[in-house]
Amino acid sequence: MNARQTLKCAILLGAAAIATAHVTAVKAQTAASSQAPLSDAAVRARANALLAKMTPEEKAGQLTQYFNFLPPGQPNPAVDELTAGRVGSLLFVSDAAEIDRLQRIAVEKTRLKIPVLFGFDVIHGFKTIMPVPIAVAASFDPKVAEDGQRVASSEARAIGLHWTFAPMVDIARDQRWGRIVEGAGEDPYLGSIMAAAQVRGFQGPNIGAPGHIIAGPKHFAGYGAALGGRDYDEVNLSDSELWNVYLPPFKAAVDAGAGNIMSAYMGLNGNPASGNSWLLTDVLRKAWGFKGFVVTDAGAAYDLKTHEYAKDVQDAAVHALSAGVDLEMSVDPSRAAYKTIPEALKTGKLTTKQVDDAVRRVLEAKIRMGLFEKPYVDQAEAARVLADPAHRLVSRQAAERTFVLLRNAGGLLPLDKNGIRSVAVIGPLADSARDTVGPWVFRQDDSETITILAGIKAKLGSGVSVEYAPGVSTPERLYASMFDAMSPVKTVKVDDNAEIARSVAIANKSDVTVLVLGEPQNMIGEGASRASLDLPGHQQQLLEAVLATGKPVIVLLMNARPLDLKEAQPNALMNIWYPGSQGGAAVANVLFGDVAPGGKLPFSWVRSIGQLPLPYSHLTSHQPQNAGKRYSDQPSTPLYPFGYGLSYSTFSFSNLKVSQPSVRLGESVDVTVDVKNTGSRTADEVAQLYIHQRYGSSARPVRELKGFQRITLAPGQTRTVSFTLKPQDLTYWSSAKRAFVQDETTFDLYAGGDSTASLAATFTVGK
């Protein structure tokens, strides 16, 4: 092997190891403060001792996880299976007493007394709800992600949960796809940083650390590229897109120590992801060295038959287990493929080694989590942790950092709370506690949630008149959401025409109007893709009618995808996402200037739905001079670019410097840039660094984010921000070479406050 081949090989092994150094530093820093985890050898020995005692049925049971929605006392096949020792894990039990009751069945009534691993979708909080993950990505601050998931994890662990099906690290470039709300948006670098931060927040320094739970990055892999943005539809991705765009956040999560991975529902390039041994074994285990356990998405092993891939249920189990799925997440015992494992062992379709390897991984997770020592729930501790007021502070501060100010004509914001006498707060989402926290929450306390209306009222006190109107009815879905039953929605129903007229009257007599518009929480998330980016319901009419008053209007968008406001131009427009339990307090702090907004878009904000997908990081391709004119009827540029967001101050970038104009393959490049606050308020800017490779083994995107730092600057203050571009940052998977390569080439660098930054520098990479 020559030096270059050696380098390539090294890079392949550590492929796309974004954020690795940071993760290592955090691991080192936190390891000292935690109790020493068991050694790998000790964990394995205990698991093996148990394995030696198990029957094939008990092994199949350890590889089976059932949903359990049913309250105690009802006939329940999942609990019958549990009592018979044929269940290793349960999901969707989220009540401390019920977890304890079920755990006692496993530990006191089954032959081997192996405790149950309880999993749940703790996506952005358990009781205290954080802003949704796409919002957290918009903070461009991994600490927001880590701190939020640490709180979520402490609440979940206290009530007896051991494992979350999060973070969702799927890249989403087609914003029709509803699950964009659960991820970090379109960019693999931002996605990788946020993935690793969330894993650290959930798991702490090691699996089993007190107050922490196992993280399960999902959905491996490619799910975000569903055809037409339609949830669950097939995915067809080139190997270049997979390696360079869709896989890096998973790699970062694995490098951060994630204990679990969830396989995806859909077919990837013709093969269902949950039966895909290339993904689950060649990439995940062999190339990346993943040591944890793999679970399917709900019913996805059984569904290998539904996908018209497996011949029958046993064949489905054989495909899934052979591909690398350890645990089957099963909807109920009547649809469980892994129940057929004992039969498949008898007929030789599976080997004992294959089954034992999978069981060992599940047992090891239970051992590491300390379940054998402490299986039960401490109810008093659970109550104490759930009531911890510090959690609310984390949630509010997180939300404040996520808002993205898209427009602020004439500097309407921030409002002067001493200078106004009346505010109109209008919109169907303005006083909806359920919508404020967003999708994927089941155990929140709505009475604790601060709506936008409540936050504004609390901020202004009794001296200012705050008048509220829902404006129009809550928009409703064409087809009911499967989550509506689990997490009931509360809709407002009014006579829309009369209500719009009333809203206009209120706006007319108010100094300023805050219009809270967007998508109700059940219009985003799983099974919530949309074929339109319009404001749903009659909100556009409401918006236009209120704007026609000519009074100052601030639109706050509750959403997780770009919305098409047509020609409407409110004075100020701010994306507040689904801001969580403390959303209203955070919004009020930002509206009235106690906090300046500093979030940035984690996706390109398209002009219209016809532009989708429109990632900023695309290839130059043919006629780049016409890249913005690829349609004949509208520009092919976004309305707001990736990384964009205004502040209450202004910033300038200068002095972009590279440590050396030319480096060798395998060397790092240090980059610095000066950021100055040129306005009159202390505020945050996110310094962003993009690279562009001019030529090489494959064509590379026009720009790729490779570094960012969110900093706070006082008026007139300048700070030099430093970045290090490591060889991995300059490395990519070349479809021409069918390998990770670092080319000898020239790079352009761009630094600034969004992905259109113009401040440039170059450096070359040679032998």
* Alpha-carbon distances of 478 from 52, 181, 485, 599, rounded to whole Å: 53, 20, 16, 32
The span from the CA of 205 to the CA of 192, in Å, is 18
CB of 215 to ligand NOJ, least distance (A): 12
CB of 765 to ligand NOJ, least distance (A): 40
CB of 328 to ligand NOJ, least distance (A): 13
Q: Which of 100, 174, 297, 315 is catalytic?
A: 297
Rounded to an integer, what is the distance from CA 688 to the centroid of its chain? Answer: 20
The answer for residues whose C-beta is within 8 angstroms of residue 668's C-beta and 6 or more apart is: 724, 725, 726, 727
| CB 316 within 8 Å of CB 363 | no
The span from the CA of 56 to the CA of 351, in Å, is 11
| CB 597 within 8 Å of CB 625 | no
CB of 460 to ligand NOJ, least distance (A): 40
Closer residue to ligand NOJ in complex, CB, 161/656: 161
Ranges within 475-514 binding ligand NOJ (CB under 6 A): none
The span from the CA of 485 to the CA of 661, in Å, is 60
Closer residue to ligand NOJ in complex, CB, 165/740: 165
763 contacts ligand NOJ (rule: CB under 6 A): no
CB of 457 to ligand NOJ, least distance (A): 36
The span from the CA of 496 to the CA of 474, in Å, is 10
The single residue among 297, 519, 729, 754 that binds ligand NOJ, judged by CB under 6 A, is 297
Ranges within 710-739 binding ligand NOJ (CB under 6 A): none
CB of 756 to ligand NOJ, least distance (A): 34
The span from the CA of 501 to the CA of 469, in Å, is 10
| CB 202 within 8 Å of CB 164 | yes
| CB 671 within 8 Å of CB 722 | yes
328 contacts ligand NOJ (rule: CB under 6 A): no
121 contacts ligand NOJ (rule: CB under 6 A): yes
Active site residue 147: no
The span from the CA of 476 to the CA of 274, in Å, is 33
Closer residue to ligand NOJ in complex, CB, 125/753: 125
Three-state DSSP at 60 gives helix
165 contacts ligand NOJ (rule: CB under 6 A): yes
CB of 420 to ligand NOJ, least distance (A): 44
The span from the CA of 277 to the CA of 319, in Å, is 9
Instruction: Tell how strand 739-741 and strand 404-408 pair up.
Output: unpaired
The span from the CA of 285 to the CA of 290, in Å, is 5
| CB 257 within 8 Å of CB 316 | no
Q: What is the residue whose two structure tokens read 């944890």?
A: 292
| CB 466 within 8 Å of CB 423 | yes
Rounded to a whole number of angstroms, the CA Rg of the chain reads: 26
Print the binding letters for residues 686-715 with ligand NOJ: x by CB under 6 A, - otherwise: ------------------------------
CB of 624 to ligand NOJ, least distance (A): 38
The span from the CA of 393 to the CA of 288, in Å, is 37
| Bridge partners (DSSP) listed for residue 705 | 690
- Which of 120, 150, 93, 221 has its CA nearest to residue 440? 120
Residue 155 CA neighbour count, 13 Å, CB half:
27
Three-state DSSP at 145 gives helix
Closer residue to ligand NOJ in complex, CB, 218/676: 218
Closer residue to ligand NOJ in complex, CB, 266/413: 266
Chain residue at closest Cβ approach to ligand NOJ: 165
Closer residue to ligand NOJ in complex, CB, 130/300: 300
The single residue among 82, 87, 221, 298 that binds ligand NOJ, judged by CB under 6 A, is 298
* Alpha-carbon distances of 46 from 38, 673, 686, rounded to whole Å: 11, 53, 48
118 contacts ligand NOJ (rule: CB under 6 A): no
| Bridge partners (DSSP) listed for residue 719 | 675
Closer residue to ligand NOJ in complex, CB, 222/562: 222
218 contacts ligand NOJ (rule: CB under 6 A): yes
| Bridge partners (DSSP) listed for residue 676 | 652, 718
Tell me the DSSP string of 261-279: EEE-SSEETTEEGGG-HII
Q: What are phi and psi of 441, to 5 degrees?
A: -135, 140
Closer residue to ligand NOJ in complex, CB, 218/339: 218
Rounded to an integer, what is the distance from CA 229 to the centroid of its chain? Answer: 17
CB of 66 to ligand NOJ, least distance (A): 11
The span from the CA of 694 to the CA of 292, in Å, is 39
The answer for residues whose C-beta is within 8 angstroms of residue 495's C-beta and 6 or more apart is: none
170 contacts ligand NOJ (rule: CB under 6 A): no
CB of 114 to ligand NOJ, least distance (A): 22
Closer residue to ligand NOJ in complex, CB, 142/183: 183
Print the binding letters for residues 626-665 with ligand NOJ: x by CB under 6 A, - otherwise: ----------------------------------------
CB of 222 to ligand NOJ, least distance (A): 14
Closer residue to ligand NOJ in complex, CB, 121/186: 121
Closer residue to ligand NOJ in complex, CB, 440/690: 440
Tokens of 246: 């869709």
The single residue among 81, 431, 526, 743 that binds ligand NOJ, judged by CB under 6 A, is 526
Number of residues that bind ligand NOJ (CB under 6 A): 6
Binding site for ligand NOJ (CB under 6 A): 121, 165, 218, 297-298, 526
Which residues are identified as catalytic?
A: 297
